[in-house]
Structure 1
Amino acid sequence: MGLNYPKRMRGPTIKVAISSVLALLLLAGCSGSPNAAIPTNPVEPPSSKPPETKSVSPLEIQMTARLFEEAPNMENSYWKEFMKRTHTKLNIEWIPDGDYTTKLNLILASGNIPEVLVINNLKHPPVVNAVRNGAFWDLTPILGDFSKYPNLKNYSAPDSWVTSRIIGKNYAIPKNRPQLSGGPKIRKDWLDKLGIPMPQTMDEYRIALKKIVDADIDGNGKKDTIGLVSKASLFSGSAGGFGDAFGMGKPTFDADGGLIYEQLTPQYADMIAWLRDLYSDGVLAKEFAVMKPTQAVELFEAGKAASLINESFRWDYSFMSTIKKVQPEAIVDTVPPLQGLNGYAVRYSTGVDGAFLISKKVPEEKVRRILDFFELTNSKEYYDFSVNGLEGIHYNKVNGEIVLTDLHKKEVGSTSPWQPITLFFDKYGKIVTPVAPKEYNDAKIKQTESQGYLTKGVISPFSVIDSSTWVATWPKFQQEWTSMSVKAIVGQISMDEYKAYVKKLNDDPNIKKSYQEFAKDYKETFGK
């Protein structure tokens, strides 16, 4: 189960990469088929009054946004209607997600900050430093008791206004996301072809992938299928939830009572040893350490990889549809929560997927209008609009069900409409997809619930707590630590050598000081 937040949390409450290799290590349908609108939490839709438009000119906002698909045409019918409804003019710089951290660092270093800056990591040191240096508005006094912002208070992720705080205050406007994202994708048709049961444990998953790579599963006579590719850095530990299967997310204290950073725990070393076995088996992609997110997805969609992480459940149907173009028998599924030595391969997020920061250069009157924009769009009405688009243009209703048109994919897409808004919180939002039939979505919800995906995960305390000493210290070690982790996985050093290196890090005075600060923040936040 996830961490239980204390009562005080229930109220309303990219690094210029140290090296080019490290920068690479870091991150981020069927038209005309019957489709169902994404189901949402059983709550009454909030009111969403349109803004006054008679005497006030449209709100022009300069912002950045993460891009996960082709850059949208902001002059198409969807975006024109969006800006009409919100009485805005959005000037968005769309940045591919794989390049976002690098671009973010350049923006922060130059000081040429847009009015609204999207951040993809609330704990990213350059972001925290920019906040400390006064680059962004402290919104705490403006938000107040949220009486003027009921949608932002009531229809954001649970405790998101607490977990998104930077240096203890609400500088960030959290972007909501389902707390459950997804698990490893796997080619179920290949499992069936080889007579392999769906894996239930980490060891069974490793064995299944080994059998697939050892077989000429695609029939090309080359045995060149890759077992596992990852869109996210495997060194995060949260990719695929793998680290949590070994207990990485569970608080671990040193002899002095300091809270050890999760990637320097003994449990994390157990995960490195497991990845080492996958690499030795020929299962893990040889280029895993420098593979870009787009490359991982392309390999999986081309039918050249057996398993992919990190993508949400909602992508299973799209992946399957794409692969069927080259391998018609393809079936893509998500494995059940894989049991490991000390838990399950399931990690919950805080419900916050990055955030918006407002530049301090923006006048206070405009800050309030920007907040009104986020308040307006954090509603069920705008959520449904961002999923389905305009009736008669992007979808039609057939026998009461939503059927997407060919124009939907071109003008609305799957993720772009979500990027400039905080997004109404929907716990099923990453399980179902508007491009799949209602029967498929309903079955997917039932499957994930019955498998325990909604009960077996954890929230890492390091998603919430902070340490100023850690922010200043860890960048000095991160490149070397990453290099040592790679060496351990590919067998260039032994696991004993790796563990000795981690011990040396944990004995560093500044890191030990960080652990004391983590422990203090943990106790204050969670009451433990």
Structure 2
Amino acid sequence: MNLSSRWNWRTKTNMSVALSCALALAVSGCSGAGSTGGTGSAGGTVGTGGAAAGQDKSSTAAASDGKPLTIQIFGGLYNEMPDMNNAFWSEWQKRLNVKLDANWVPSGDVITKLDLVLASGDLPEVIAYPNQGLTVSMINAVRQGAFWDLTPYLGDLSQYPNLKNNTPPGWQKFLSVDGKIYALPRSRSLIDNTVNIRKDWLDKLNLPVPTTLDEYRAALKAIVNGDPDGNGQKDTMGIVGINEGVSPFEAGFGAFAPHYDSDKGLIWHELTNEYTSMVEWLRGLYSDGSLPKEFMTMKRTQMEEAIGTGKAATYIRSTRYHYDFELQAKKVQPNAKIVATPPLKGPGGYAADLSTGVNGGIFISKKVPEAKMKQMLKYFDATASQEITDFGYSGVEGVHYKVVNGEKVPTDLSVKEVNTTSLGAGVFAYVKWGKVDNPGAPKEYIENKRKEVADYEKLGVYNIFTWLISDSWVNVWPKYTDEWKAMMTKAIVGQISMDEYKAYVAKLNSMPEFKKAYQEFAKAYSYYK
């Protein structure tokens, strides 16, 4: 869906899509809700003037005329386009006293659209950047003064108790450029992506759930060469596509561990020997038929369709999506069951990568006046309260869930309105199972899913390059990225030998501009570790 026609940042003066507590919050310093009331969610009722700990609720009315704070926000669309006047967003606006003019961009296109917005210079007031690592265009925009340096305003966070107490530890370093903080965290759980597979297909083929990468490869080969869906054809896919990343497999091959060249420079993870070993493993999957021919070009919508229509065994995405994919697949295959594998043992570790707990950041355009920027900081601090976080993940009691025997039981409306997209307008408190629990799933399903992925946090590793910055790398890597992807694809599909691919990687790593960048990465890593 092309949403660009909805936006003209220079001419829009009236924002009309609601959310609600920030002018009162923002001007007064209250980080709870206004006095308008509202349906309580688990963890406490926010709408009845519930301010965060340490803040004075009584200052709200005295310090504000009660008008909502309007915010233009650019964020990712991960579900159906929301009606910003639905029950969830209406309650959010009533509790937080803001009006959001939200441009939700389909997640598969959000970075491309963001690059166009940055190039135009016509920025929205807020960009909810969706990834752990900043793109070159975002780093350049920051350095060119496109966004507020929040460092002097945040200080020791004493004015923002929710940002101080409820957010992931160390979030500032993940959102810093040149030692300055330019964004607020989009708090998410450490456990995010997990390797999933169709358990009902394994059962039909008398295969156990794999525990190693070798077993996983063998299981996929059996699936694509068998007939697990029973339609009489060998038309099922293994891994539906890898163009959104292969981070769990990188972790399993050890590519996320720091690797240094002969000059003690820190080598980019995709150009390590360990990553090359993973490429060779993917080459094996392709020769098995477990990767479809179009694996590098499939878009997110195509991959979702493949897993949701029962055509693929695996589509790696946030764990909370397993339930959605399973529900879709059950429409055509009633016995469909999607499970997370345990962290698969590989030659260099386990196929389990962790989020930093900071899934991107909330950047405020420098075009926003200083006074309004400060109001926005108060609003975003309010969204990091435990009460608003509980609401963000569960919705409105009696509408999105019912309490039965002390437990929340989601309604049908929950799946539609309380989802990943609905987390796009706030910071939120850290929630251990936030990217695992699906709010539309029943209690038993959620408990089983948590058990499936519990070891990911214990065995998973971080990709340090999601936050390390090298000026030289920002300039050199974009010149070679497309060429490298093309060479990797050729290696996987067998158009060139692995020796040719290895020689190409070695050539890149020996180039002076690469070696200079690796020195800068090593210096940055020595500081952060």
Q: Please indicate, yes or no, whether the TM-score normalized by the shorter chain is above 0.5.
A: yes
User: In the alignment, is residue 165 of structure 1 matched against residue 176 of structure 2?
Assistant: yes
1:49 CA drift (Å): 6.9
1:467 maps to which residue?
470
**1:33-87 deviation line (CA, Å, top 9, x unaligned):** xxxx999xxxxx9538778255242110011110001111112232122112111
Q: Which of the numbers 300, 304, 310 marks the counterpart of 1:303?
A: 310
Return the offset for 1:208: 0.6
Cα shift at 1:502: 0.4
Matches within 5 A, 1:282-361: 282-309=289-316, 311-361=317-367
Structure 2 residue identity aligned to 1:363 = P
Report the CA distance between 1:258 and its aligned residue. 0.4
State whether structure 2 residue 407 is matched by structure 1 residue 404: no
**CA-to-aligned-CA distance 1:194-232 (integer Å, 9 cap, x gap):** 1111111111100111011111221222211111113x5
- Go from structure 1 to structure 2 and tell me whether the alpha carbon gap of 1:38 and 1:461 turns closer, same or farther (over 3 Å shift): farther
Matched-pair contact (CA < 8 Å) for 2:42–2:391? no
User: Relative contact order: is structure 1 or structure 2 higher (C-alpha 8 Å, sep ≥ 6)?
Assistant: 1
Q: Which secondary structure state, in structure 2, belongs to the residue aligned with residue 454 of structure 1?
A: helix
Residue 70 (structure 2) pairs with residue 60 (structure 1)? yes
- Could you tell me how far apart the structure 2 residues matched to 1:244 and 1:100 are? 26
The TM-score normalised by the length of structure 2 is 0.87
CA contact under 8 A between 2:341 and 2:452: conserved in structure 1? no
Match of 2:141 among 104, 118, 130: 130
Tell me what 1:491 maps to: 494
Instruction: Give the residue type in structure 2 aligned to 1:297.
Output: E
Alignment equivalent of 2:518, drawn from 500, 515, 518? 515
Paired residues, what number? 477
Identity %: 49
Q: Identify the residue that residue 362 of structure 1 maps to in structure 2.
A: 368
Equivalent pair of 2:77/2:106 in contact (CA under 8 Å): yes
| Counterpart-to-counterpart distance in 2, 1:304 and 1:38 | 38
2:22 aligns to what? none
CA distance in 2, matches of 1:320, 1:218: 14
Pairwise mapping of residues 203-352 of structure 1 onto structure 2 (< 5 A)?
203-230=214-241, 233=243, 236-238=245-247, 241-309=248-316, 311-352=317-358
1:443 equivalent among 426, 448, 456? 448
| Separation in structure 1 between the aligned mates of residue 318 and residue 141 of structure 2, nearest angstrom | 31
**Which ranges in structure 1 are unaligned for 5 or more consecutive residues?**
1-36, 40-44
Q: Deviations over 1:13-32 (max 9, x none)?
A: xxxxxxxxxxxxxxxxxxxx
| 8 Å contact from structure 2 (residues 386, 429) kept in 1 | yes
SS at match of 2:379: helix
Which among 480, 484, 493 is matched to residue 477 of structure 1? Answer: 480
RMSD after superposition: 1.8
Q: Compute the displacement of 1:183 (Å).
A: 1.5
Q: Match for residue 207 of structure 2? A: 196
The alignment status of 1:413 with 2:421, answered yes or no, reads no
2:37 alignment partner in structure 1: none
TM-score by length of 1: 0.87
Question: Secondary structure at 1:92's aligned position in 2?
Answer: strand
How big is each residue's C-alpha offset from its partner over 1:67-116, in whole Å with a ceiling of 9 and x where there is no partner?
Answer: 00111111223212211211111111110000001100000000000111
Q: CA deviation at 1:519?
A: 0.6
Separation in 2, partners of 1:393, 1:349: 31
Aligned match of 2:38: none
Q: Distance in 1 between matches of 2:307 and 2:135?
A: 30
Residue type matched to 1:402 in 2? K
Counterparts of 1:420-439 in structure 2 under 5 Å?
A: 420-439=425-444
Q: How does 1:61-140 map onto structure 2 within 5 Å?
A: 61-121=71-131, 122-140=133-151
Superposed CA offset, 1:338-365 (max 9, x none): 1111111000121111111111111111
Gaps of 5+ in 2: 1-40, 44-50
Q: Choose which of 376, 394, 413 in structure 2 pairs with 1:388.
A: 394
Change over 3 Å in CA distance of 1:38–1:188 after alignment to 2: farther
Distance in 2, matches of 1:476 and 1:454, equals 35
Counterpart secondary structure, 1:455: helix
The letter of the residue matching 2:410 is L
CA contact (8 A) 2:392 2:418 kept: no
